[in-house]
Amino acid sequence: MDISFDRGDAQRPKGHALAYFRTHSEPDKVYATYIIVLPLSVDFAKYVPPFLTSHLANMTLGDLSAFSLPPVPEEVASYQELEHLAEIRDDDLLYAGTMLSFDLSQMMEAVGEMVNEYSRMWSENARPAPEVGHAQPEDSSSVNEVLYSMMSQKDRLGELSKMVGKLRFALEGADRQTGQDVEEEIQILGRYLPEHFYVASIVQAAMDSSAKGAKLAQLYMDRCYKLSNEDEAAARELEAQIDNLKASA
């Protein structure tokens, strides 16, 4: 099936998405579910107690690396609510199509198809394929990238704040290698933060060893937290302070 992205990029799916349906019989209503593609394959059959095995014999437990909850879309207040949730959680937002009516079996089938297709897109686009004939060493940056993709926005900001402090400490101690490693790690983390958080400007300020650089980096970080909390007024005030400080001698 074709997946329509209202939010997100089909060439770089996040692995977690809100998916919604509409119906012809109730055009004002929106039904939604949440799709998750696990970054690791999990054999759930290993974790089922023996006394339940016979009861679950007809279920495919060997590979549940992608699934949706709830399995049948539930009615939500509005499309605007879904947009807001997708924004604050940094989720993809997928349009699953319009049904003739709220048909349980039809929606379950459509959700299953969407889960399979979204999982396929994530597998093909989110992870580079290993070179044939060459063993791939464990890459710590790729492991961290998976972790960043699963973090909430506030957790990502917490990691960014730690990295900024580590970067300044490395530069003040003339530890160029550590500084370069941390800068590269910030760039990876920055892929999972909105562009208007100005991660590149935070790095530039952090690399300025002067007191002005330290103040700028702190103001930029404070601004990120205000934006994350949707405190636009406070974020604008901090941006004005940033502009004034940059303009000062």
Q: For residue 231, what pLDDT is reported?
A: 93
- Of 98, 125, 152, at which residue does a domain stop? 125
- Residue 132 resides in a domain: no
Residues 93 and 23 in one domain: yes
CA 172/CA 187 separation, integer angstroms: 20
Residues 159 and 236 in one domain: yes
Residues 18 and 74 in one domain: yes
**pLDDT over 60 (residue 209):** yes
Residues 154 and 242 in one domain: yes
Q: For residue 61, what pLDDT is reported?
A: 47
- Return the HEC string of 71-108: EEEEEECCHHHHHHHHHHHCCEEEEEEEECCCCHHHHH
Q: For residue 96, what pLDDT is reported?
A: 86
**Do residues 118 and 12 lie in contact, with contact meaning Cβ atoms separated by under 8 Å?**
no
140-154: pLDDT as tens digits: 555 677 788 888 888
**Do residues 125 and 45 lie in contact, with contact meaning Cβ atoms separated by under 8 Å?**
no
- Residue 131 resides in a domain: no
- Of 125, 157, 177, at which residue does a domain stop? 125
- C-beta atoms surrounding 168 within 10 Å: 20
Residues 19 and 117 in one domain: yes
pTM: 0.48
Q: Reduce the DSSP state of residue 162 to 3 states and report it.
A: helix
Least confident of 46-50, 116-120, 186-190: 46-50
Q: For residue 110, what pLDDT is reported?
A: 87
Residues 81 and 117 in one domain: yes
- Residue 121 resides in a domain: yes
Q: Reduce the DSSP state of residue 204 to 3 states and report it.
A: helix
Domain that holds residue 54: 4-125
- Residue 150 resides in a domain: yes
Q: For residue 40, what pLDDT is reported?
A: 75
Residues 23 and 120 in one domain: yes
73-127: pLDDT as tens digits: 999 999 999 999 999 999 999 998 888 777 888 888 888 999 999 999 988 885 5
- Whether cis (ω within 30° of 0) applies to the bond prior to 39 is no
- C-beta atoms surrounding 194 within 10 Å: 14
Q: For residue 45, what pLDDT is reported?
A: 59
- Residue 136 resides in a domain: no
Residues 12 and 111 in one domain: yes
- Residue 215 resides in a domain: yes
State the total domains in the chain: 2
Name 138's Cβ contacts closer than 8 Å, sequence gap at least 6: none
Name 42's Cβ contacts closer than 8 Å, sequence gap at least 6: 63, 64, 65
- Of 62, 93, 125, at which residue does a domain stop? 125
**pLDDT over 70 (residue 133):** no
**Do residues 200 and 224 lie in contact, with contact meaning Cβ atoms separated by under 8 Å?**
no
**pLDDT over 80 (residue 220):** yes
- Residue 130 resides in a domain: no
Residues 90 and 147 in one domain: no
Residues 113 and 26 in one domain: yes
Q: For residue 51, what pLDDT is reported?
A: 53
- Residue 145 resides in a domain: yes
11 sits in which H/E element: none
Query: What percentage of the chain has pLDDT greater than the value 90?
Result: 39
**pLDDT over 80 (residue 5):** yes
Residues 11 and 113 in one domain: yes
Closest-CA residue to 87 (of 226, 193, 191, 200): 193
Q: What is the mean pLDDT of residues 32-54?
A: 71
**pLDDT over 60 (residue 55):** no
CA 14/CA 67 separation, integer angstroms: 14
Name 68's Cβ contacts closer than 8 Å, sequence gap at least 6: 19, 33, 34, 35, 36, 111, 112, 114, 115
Q: For residue 66, what pLDDT is reported?
A: 87
Residues 16 and 103 in one domain: yes
Least confident of 38-52, 156-170, 197-211, 223-237: 38-52
Q: For residue 173, what pLDDT is reported?
A: 82
CA 202/CA 197 separation, integer angstroms: 9
